Amino acid sequence: MQVEIGNAIVELIEGDITRQAADAIVNAANSALIGGGGVDGAIHRAAGPELIQELEPFRAQGGCPTGSAVPTSARRLPAKFVFHAVGPIYGHGGPDVAADLASCYRTCLHLAAERYLISISFPSISTGAYGYPLREAADIAIDTVCTFLVEHAGASLRQVFFVLWGDRAFAAYAEALVGWKAEQVE
């Protein structure tokens, strides 16, 4: 499923983010930047052991705060960069958990724009082990990304992929994208 937003295409894909060609792949990382399970583990395995070494300077500075992201090269992945975004743990983030999740997406979009990238691939951040309700997270992700694309139509980004694992995630993001687009028409 794809929809034109601003000067870009937002495309939903069910599959493995480590196989999605894009200028940047977003990793759903933990704040310690030490690798983990889910998307984080898959990205580290596919990129190779050098990726964890490249994160060492960030770990030495205390890691990455929730709602932010740090860039590395992509190593063996079909991309130029990996943006390691730290999403909130649902139920432990206080009242700003939605703002923290939106900040992950916004930070990665700014990192892409600063590097004049054409394409970026996002997973569904915080919806795995971090427990964020899928439909709520999809609404936040779609709203943040689409609003950015409209407000920054002159930026270099032309393709934004959401690479989603499973039918349930795809359906939640599809519903959010259709809903966002419908709101813009009203």
Per-residue pLDDT at 92 exceeds 80: no
The answer to which of 32-41, 59-68, 140-149 has the lowest mean pLDDT is: 32-41
Residue 75, token pair as written in the block = 């190593």
Q: What is the phi-psi region of residue 71: left when phi exceeds 0, alpha when psi lies from -120 to 50, beta otherwise?
A: beta
Q: What are phi and psi of 180, to 5 degrees?
A: -65, -45
Look at residue 186 in the predicted model and tell me its pLDDT: 61
Look at residue 50 in the predicted model and tell me its pLDDT: 95
- Residues 39-78 have pLDDT tens digits of 999 999 999 999 999 999 999 999 999 999 999 999 999 9
pLDDT average, residue stretch 107-128: 97
Task: Say if residues 2 and 37 touch (Cβ distance below 8 Å).
Answer: no
Say how far apart CA 169 and CA 163 lie, in whole Å: 9
Task: Say if residues 84 and 126 touch (Cβ distance below 8 Å).
Answer: no
Q: Which of 40, 100, 139, 143 is catalytic?
A: 40
pLDDT band at 158 (very low <50, low <70, confident <90, very high): very high
pLDDT exceeding 70 applies to what percent of the chain? 98
Please state the domain extents for the chain: 2-175
Say how far apart CA 70 and CA 77 lie, in whole Å: 17
Is 40 annotated in the active site? yes
Is the CATH code 3.30.420.40 the one for domain 2-175? Answer: no
